[in-house]
Amino acid sequence: MIQNYSRIALPLKISFLIFSMVLNCMGVIILQLSATNISYTNLGFLEAFKDLPIAIFSLFAATLINRFGSKTSLIFSLLIVAICCILLPFVGGFWFFKLWFAIMGICFSVAKISVYGILRNNILQEIPLAKVMSSVEASFMIGIFVVNIGFGWLISSAYSEYWKFGFWIISLLAFANVFLLMKTIVVADAEHSQIFSFSEITGFFNRKYFIFFLIIFSIVFIEQNFNSWLPSFYKKHLNVNSFFALQASAFLALFSYIGRIVTARIIQHFSLARYFIGCTIAILLMLFLFQSLVTNGYLQITLFIFPLTGLFLSPLYPVISSQTINHIRKAEIHLFTSLIVIFSSLGSSVGSVIMSYLFHFEYGGYYALFISGAVIVLLLLSFIYFRSYVSKKENNY
């Protein structure tokens, strides 16, 4: 079934690229709005306006997708994104950013469930699915790179006051991808109930899936902390200007992209579990090195060291997701993906709120590194237990 993926690869990658840019422009917006006397606390809760609608709407998004199909739902979400990006430069006020991010979050919940549904319907084996998901998720990371590089240049140029018009490029890309999706043929969704019922979720209320969702929560907690708050950390604690602060986040995304592309190429040669554990240990070592350099005053070196963590952080999400999704029945894939989206959004919003309070203190950014390290340790221990538990129960990993 892997040959089916080559036919749908481009529109799925572009879809993730688009949503990556609208969701991960948070670092840019935090940087810009913090200069307009909006507090870090308020900016931290801005992340919640993106993530909580994702969590709330995701379960109902599964019902919507069941009714209209994955492809149609994905197209609809892209059209809404395109329209909202056109409107953004013309509406001022912090309240509109809250509304805008809420709409982006809802559209993303529909899009991600749709994309995962399309992939699961077209690819049946575990290793090919892991390769494909790593490849598609890689475009999410390149979106972070593009949005930080692009807005970084715009903000530092003579036209910095027009930075909001950069979203028009995203709008054009969304319209182009809608046209591409309409020309793409995909395997139809499996038949299942169109009516949402909480009783359907009870099958996922057990120890195995609780640990899995804890792992997902931890991964996104770390990813979002690094992506959204790294520019502010570099500007506040390493005393670099806005342009270079954004480039730090951009290169973190670039190395994350490389990490997922490499993973897609080599994953068939490794045990998925050992690969996951190896990457997690490497992140811990990189974080320890970064903290040591900052503590001893080697600030210039840290500008280039920290983005390298993306090489090891980025493979975690697609590896654990594909490993588990492969064992989910097609009829349950939309519901299960909606639960993944919910715990991902909770990890993102909780992480951002915690970071926003820490950044109020003079040395709070340094403590943020210790919190991230503690969550990485929790992630590693959770995965080791998850692997051991599943091996005993199902002998699948």
Domains of the chain: residue spans and CATH: 8-189+200-393 (1.20.1250.20)
**What is the pLDDT at residue 2?**
42
What's the burial of 230, exposed, middle or buried (CB within 10 Å: 0-12/13-18/19+)? buried
**What is the pLDDT at residue 131?**
75
- Of residues 340, 348, 335, 339, the one with CA closest to residue 51: 348
Helix, strand, coil shares, percent, the chain, to 5: 85, 0, 15
Report in angstroms the alpha-carbon separations of 234 from 18, 247, 316: 26, 10, 25
Distance between CA atoms of residues 76 and 251, nearest Å: 31
Crossing angle, helix 333-358 and helix 207-237, to 10 degrees? 40
**What is the pLDDT at residue 283?**
92
Note the Cα 330 to chain centre separation in Å.
Answer: 23
- The pTM of this model reads 0.74
The token pair at 244 is 């270079």
Q: Which residues of the chain have pLDDT under 50?
A: 1-3, 193, 396-397
Distance between CA atoms of residues 341 and 115, nearest Å: 12
**What is the pLDDT at residue 174?**
95
The token pair at 217 is 């929560």
**What is the pLDDT at residue 1?**
41
Distance between CA atoms of residues 113 and 189, nearest Å: 12
